[in-house]
Amino acid sequence: MRELAQLPLDKAAFREKYGPWAVIAGASEGTGECYARELAEMGINLVLVSRRQPALESLGEALKAEYGIDYRVLAQDLTEDGAGLRIVAAAAGLDIGLYISNAGADGFASFFEDSTDAAHRLVRMNISTLIDAANGFGKGFLARCQNGQGRGGIIVMASGAGLGGQPNLVLYSATKAFEINFAESLWAEYHERGIDVIGIAAPIMRTPTLLRMVPEGFDVSDVYDPADVTHNALAGLLAGEPLQIIPDGPGQEKQPQVLADRKERLVGFVEFNKMFTGG
């Protein structure tokens, strides 16, 4: 697998800022499981969400046995109407400090040859569910402190596909672009008020989803380890970064500069907004 330099992460500081509970939407395998394992190692309790309750229960019990954490599970299809509201409701009464939107998708399809049902499912999963869950948990983050300051974090697992269009990934690419801009915009609104938000333009990773999608015999040796990607996402959140782009695919040599340019533009708009609003 491809090497990814690991960013430093103060786990005690992370637990203090984003604990004692985290919610992971899309938690049963792959990057979701990687997030769950590293957070549990820090002593953060987990609300695990995905369609497959047995897989969630198995993961939760394993992490409880190894790290002594508490957990809850919610069997929820993220493509359903109202999924985000049900995720927030499932965490009622818990002191949630972190929400991770980790929705995935299977398969490639040509837009005109496919039904729009699949497209609308992606819109619900990557846009509607994210909007409702982020809004619900964000209100809680604001309430954790007073005087307009908050405490908490949101990680949005987007994709490098969101940086530009791709064939056979029309709606996936489009909704991942939404996720990137959504995360950056929330960062611009709230990072100075104590709430951290980061979007991850994730690369191709060796996950169960990838292995289900590629043809038999397809070479997947030159892809990233999902545990490396999720570790750096956690580190980037604590460092206060709005976006991570892990170089991958055509034009990857230019992507570090794209990341720098996006942040410079975003910071400029933050300052403009202060002048415009008097804030």
- Position 267 scores a pLDDT of 95
* Predicted TM-score of the model (pTM): 0.96
The label of the residue with tokens 């709606």 reads 171
- Position 279 scores a pLDDT of 62
Distance CA 95, CA 180 (A): 26
**Residue 246 CA neighbour count, 13 Å, CB half:** 27
Question: Which helix (H) or strand (E) is 243 found in, with range?
Answer: strand 243-245
212-223 pLDDT, tens digit per residue, is 666 676 677 789
> Helix, strand, or coil here: 250?
coil
Q: What percent of the chain has pLDDT over 90?
A: 82
Crossing angle between the packed helical segments 170-190 and 129-143, to the nearest 10 degrees: 10
The label of the residue with tokens 């309750």 reads 53
Q: Integer distance in angstroms from the first to the last C-alpha of the chain?
A: 47
112-140 pLDDT, tens digit per residue, is 998 899 899 999 999 999 999 999 999 99
Decide if 2 contacts 26 (C-beta within 8 A): no
- Position 150 scores a pLDDT of 84
> Helix, strand, or coil here: 242?
coil
Structural domains in the chain, CATH included, are: 11-253 (3.40.50.720)
- Position 277 scores a pLDDT of 78
CA–chain centroid gap for 18, Å, is 14
Distance CA 238, CA 129 (A): 24
- Position 275 scores a pLDDT of 87
Given pLDDT bands bounded at 50, 70 and 90, which one contains residue 107?
A: low
**Average of per-residue pLDDT values in the chain:** 93
In order of 130, 146, 171, 246, the CA distances from 123 in angstroms are 10, 35, 8, 24
- Position 211 scores a pLDDT of 62
